[in-house]
Structures are given as structure tokens and as C-alpha cells.
């Protein structure tokens, strides 16, 4: 049922106060012009010692990762150096990552590899493991990495292969990973033999089809052949989260000309989620819809970049997608600009506090208003979007300390958000607190350019281990998965 202007006006005052649940991120109001600023020394911000973050970043003599004093890192996988259990190199272009509890205290990580186009274009594509291949022409997919309780890498094997441009994704409440193709190639385009632009489910659990690719005896044969989840639509998927209460899936699209959309998939009546259940659905099962936002005065909002103040709240109606498989027209192009609300570079998402945190990485000429990053919170109970983080346009991306281009995100067990930077110039992992301040956690020091023109790959896939003691993250180029440990503390 659509929200009326009167309904939203009644709710907007409450929603504008942000999320008030215990442990929530709260209103993350990072103001333009204050990006990356250090906290005032001795400020009372509620942390154990009255300081924000973990202190300045210490340059790494090995040229990999600058971290605060007391922190350390371990390389878990590295393209061209570490190998899969089958003997091939770890695939390149590490991206979205999910963590799961393994056996005997170990952690299982499903790692996307954002590889687009034919396999011949990449020195280290995802190997075509038997029974786990969707399109043998495609180079992308996922690997599963096992890390022992003491942090020692145990093994790595293929989770899915023959997919394209596996960017972000998301974990499910039933313990699987949904990997997303940020691609719209059809069979016959760019060497592909099947249509792409789908979501696939990957099961990392011991005894699953993943173990069978290592020669294990307990393969679940019914789940071995990858199947696109066509009910979730075919477009340039970025991330996905699951509403465990209502069963909805929320998905982002990273596309432009025109800008992409934020989607909600509603399951058919009587459907119950679980391992492998999504692949049993008909291609047109449920309802895939895009948002139509309006302000407290009932005025339509055409693009999320128009919000220039944190705490801005929009009501959301949902408009059904006409042709979710995009047989003739891309999904985002099936709507007139006055029918739905768009946003530039809709990227990472994370489910927490009863809703979805959603990133719009930056906005440029394709958008009504320019910015260098937004994080929104969608509250499904109120059907509202609230702007939590706003990064103003970064005047000098090459300057260390400035931040721009948030991408993958996670909610930290120590409070606030952890954000992977995918901007220009220097690349960071950084935190954002409830009162809006940002602080650095790590800086990428792997220069893949030259001394005269340095270039640093983006951070991807920040996610904590199930016990909250280790922060895993990737440097996409040259392809490194890292485990970061140290004296974590509550950031209020």
C-alpha cells in the first residue's frame, strides 16, 4: 500500500531523529569540509580513553598496509603468489567478501573476483571447477578461503565459476553468500555463451558442493550446478541484503546513463527462505520493485543526490519493474525519470539495526548535485530513507587524510561503520562514528603505478570475523586479502 503525503508527514519528525535502537550506528553526520578531520585531543566522545579512532597510521616498511600503532596484518591470499587447493593461482580482482563460522573455530570467507569478459583477458581467472561453472566463457566467480582459529590460512577453493564481474553481494541469515554480477552482457556479447547480470547463491559450509570441488565425499549434488536467481532481476548488480523479518531482499545497481536504482524483491506468499530455496523459485516469482521517494511535503524526489544535509528523510513507495529480465531494455531504462528515484553509483549495503545501510559512492555530472559519498538507511517499518553520512567533494584526493568514494561497508561490532574507500588518489579503510566524525584504520601502500604517478588499488570487502576479533579486507589490485588485528575498542 503506498504511503500517503499525510502518513509521511506524521512519521517524518520521528524518522528524522535517526535509528534509536541499542547498538545502532545512529546519525552519522559527516559534514562536507570536515572530511577525515582528526578529533580534538582529549575530547569526551565516550571511548575508553576519550580519543577518537586508533591514532595516526604508521607507514609499513614492507609497503603493503599502514596501520595504527599496536595493529598488525597478515596476508591471507595474494594473486600470483598463493594457490588454490587444486594448484592454480588465487584469482585476481578481489571484491565483496562474507564471513562464516567454520569448524574448530575457523573462519570461512567467500571472496568475489570482479573479472569481466573472456577468460583470455585475465592471467588469473577463476578456475573452471567441475560442477561449479555457469558460463565456461566467463572469467569471474568466487573462491572460499578457510582461516584457522589462530589466523593461519588453511586453504582456498572455487565456490562458483563462469560468472562475470562479481562485485559485491551479501550474506544471508541461513548461512550462504549471494554473489552479484555487475554486468548486463547477453549470450553472444563479449564472448559470453550465456546471459549475465544475475545473482547466484554460494554455500560455504563444510559438506556443501564447495567441498566437493576439493574432492570431498559429501557433495550436495542438487546444489552443484550454478543457477541464476532470475526472480531478482538482470541488471548491473552491486550488493544485496536480506530482511530476516519480512523476507524481502534489497539490491543495489551500479550504473549510469541513466543512474541506477535501489530495488526491493518481495517473496511470493507462503515462501520460506533457506539454503537453496531461492533457486527453486520461478523466474517471475515475487515482485521486483524500484523506489519512488518524496519529501515531507509530498514532493517527488528524482535523485538522492538532492539531499544536502544529514538527517534528511524521504518516504518511499515501491514501483513494480515491468520486465525484470531486461529482454529488450535495461531495467533502469524501463522507467521514466518522473516515475522512480535514481542515485549515482549505488554500491555496498549492510543489514543492521532493523534496516539496510546503502552507499551512493559519489555523484558527478550525471547527478543533479555533486558529492563524494552518501550512506543512507532504509527503515522498512517506516518505509523511509534517512541520510546518515555525507562526504563533500574532495578538493585534493591525492592528499592523505582526505576521504572520498565510499564503496563496500560493514557495521562494526565496536560501533559505527567501517567503510572501504574507492575514490581517487590515496585509498583508506576508515570508520565513521555516531556523531559524524571519521577516523583512519588503514592506508593502502601498494603502489601499482609509478613513483612519478602513483596509483593505489581500491579497498574492498571489509568484514569482521564471526568473533569480531579480526577485520578482513582486500586490496583489489594487485589482489590481496588481508586480516587486520589489534586493540579494537568501542567507538561511540
Evaluate whether 459 touches 421 at the Cβ level (below 8 Å): yes
**C-beta atoms surrounding 328 within 10 Å:** 8
Higher pLDDT pick, 225 / 332: 332
Calpha distance 212→221 (Å, rounded): 9
d(CA 202, CA 199): 10
Specify the higher pLDDT residue, 192 or 223. 192
Mean pLDDT of 250-272: 97
**Position of cell 544471508?**
172
Burial (0-12, 13-18, 19+ Cβ within 10 Å), 281: middle
Q: Which of 93-107, 200-214, 240-254 comes out lowest in average pLDDT? A: 200-214
pLDDT level of residue 437 (50, 70, 90 thresholds): confident
Please provide the average confidence, as pLDDT, over all residues in the chain. 88
Residue 46 scores a pLDDT above 70:
no
* 207 pLDDT tier (thresholds 50, 70, 90): low
Quick one: pLDDT at residue 243?
98
Identify the band that residue 50 occupies on the pLDDT scale cut at 50, 70 and 90: low
Nearest CA among 242, 231, 246, 157 for reference residue 200:
231
Burial of 252 (C-beta count, 10 Å sphere; 0-12/13-18/19+): buried
Higher pLDDT, 47 or 400: 400
pLDDT band, residue 12 (cuts 50/70/90): very low
pLDDT number for residue 62: 97
CATH topology of domain 5-23+86-418: Neuraminidase (2.120.10)
Checking if the pLDDT of 27 tops 50, the result is: no
* The predicted structure's pLDDT at residue 400: 81
**C-alpha distances in angstroms, 212 versus 96, 98, 204, 223, 258?**
23, 20, 11, 11, 42
- Minimal CA–CA distance to 80: which of 111, 131, 122? 122
Q: Where in the chain are all domains bearing CATH 2.120.10?
A: 5-23+86-418
Give the whole-angstrom CA distance, residue 490 versus residue 110.
Answer: 27
Amino acid at each position: 500500500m503506498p504511503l500517503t503525503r499525510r502518513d509521511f508527514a506524521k512519521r517524518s519528525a520521528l524518522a528524522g531523529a535517526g535509528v534509536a535502537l541499542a547498538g545502532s550506528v545512529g546519525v552519522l553526520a559527516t559534514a562536507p569540509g570536515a572530511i577525515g578531520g582528526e578529533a580534538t585531543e582529549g575530547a569526551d566522545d565516550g571511548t575508553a580513553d576519550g580519543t577518537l579512532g586508533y591514532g595516526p597510521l604508521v607507514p609499513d616498511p614492507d609497503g603493503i598496509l599502514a596501520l595504527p600503532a599496536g595493529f598488525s596484518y597478515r596476508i591471507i591470499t595474494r594473486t600470483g603468489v598463493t594457490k588454490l587447493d587444486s594448484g592454480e593461482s588465487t584469482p585476481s580482482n578481489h571484491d565483496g567478501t562474507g564471513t562464516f563460522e567454520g569448524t574448530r573455530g575457523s573462519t570461512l570467507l567467500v571472496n568475489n573476483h570482479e573479472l569481466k569478459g573472456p577468460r583470455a583477458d585475465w592471467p588469473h581467472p577463476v578456475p573452471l571447477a567441475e560442477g561449479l561453472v555457469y558460463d565456461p566463457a566467463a572469467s569471474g566467480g568466487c573462491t572460499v578461503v578457510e582461516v584457522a582459529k589462530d589466523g593461519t590460512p588453511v586453504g582456498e577453493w572455487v565456490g562458483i565459476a563462469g560468472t562475470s564481474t562479481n562485485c559485491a553481494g551479501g550474506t544471508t541469515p541461513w548461512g550462504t553468500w549471494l554473489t552479484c554480477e555487475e554486468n548486463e552482457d547477453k549470450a553472444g556479447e563479449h564472448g559470453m555463451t550465456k546471459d549475465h547480470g544475475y545473482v547466484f547463491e554460494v554455500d560455504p559450509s563444510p559438506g556443501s558442493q564447495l567441498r566437493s570441488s576439493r574432492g570431498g565425499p559429501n557433495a550436495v549434488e542438487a546444489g552443484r550446478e550454478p543457477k541464476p536467481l532470475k526472480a531478482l532481476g538482470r541488471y548491473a548488480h552491486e550488493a544485496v541484503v536480506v530482511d530476516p523479518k519480512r523476507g524481502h531482499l534489497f539490491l543495489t545497481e551500479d550504473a549510469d546513463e541513466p543512474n541506477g536504482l535501489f530495488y526491493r524483491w518481495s517473496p511470493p506468499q507462503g515462501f520460506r527462505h533457506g539454503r537453496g530455496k531461492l533457486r527453486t523459485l520461478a523466474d517471475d516469482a515475487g515482485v521486483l520493485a524500484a523506489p519512488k521517494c518524496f519529501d515531507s511535503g509530498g514532493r517527488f524526489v528524482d535523485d538522492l543526490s538532492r539531499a544536502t544535509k544529514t538527517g534528511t528523510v524521504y518516504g518511499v513507495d515501491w514501483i513494480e519493474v515491468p520486465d525484470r529480465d531486461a529482454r529488450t531494455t535495461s531495467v533502469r531504462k524501463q522507467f521514466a525519470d518522473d516515475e522512480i528515484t535514481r542515485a549515482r553509483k549505488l554500491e555496498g549495503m549492510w543489514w543492521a539495526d532493523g534496516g539496510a545501510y546503502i552507499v551512493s559512492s559519489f555523484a558527478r555530472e550525471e547527478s543533479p548535485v555533486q558529492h563524494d559519498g552518501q550512506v543512507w538507511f532504509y527503515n522498512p517499518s517506516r518505509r523511509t530513507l534517512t541520510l546518515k553520512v555525507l562526504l563533500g567533494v574532495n578538493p585534493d584526493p591525492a592528499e592523505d587524510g582526505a576521504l572520498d568514494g565510499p564503496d563496500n561497508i560493514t557495521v562494526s561490532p565496536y560501533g559505527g561503520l567501517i567503510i572501504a574507500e574507492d575514490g581517487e588518489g590515496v585509498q583508506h579503510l576508515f570508520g565513521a562514528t555516531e556523531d559524524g566524525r571519521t577516523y583512519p584504520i588503514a592506508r593502502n601502500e601498494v603502489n601499482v603505478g609509478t613513483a612519478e604517478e602513483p596509483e593505489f588499488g581500491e579497498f574492498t570487502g571489509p568484514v569482521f570475523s564471526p568473533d569480531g576479533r579480526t577485520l578482513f579486507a582486500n586490496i583489489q589490485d594487485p589482489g590481496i586479502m588481508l586480516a587486520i588485528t589489534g586493540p579494537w575498542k568501542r567507538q561511540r
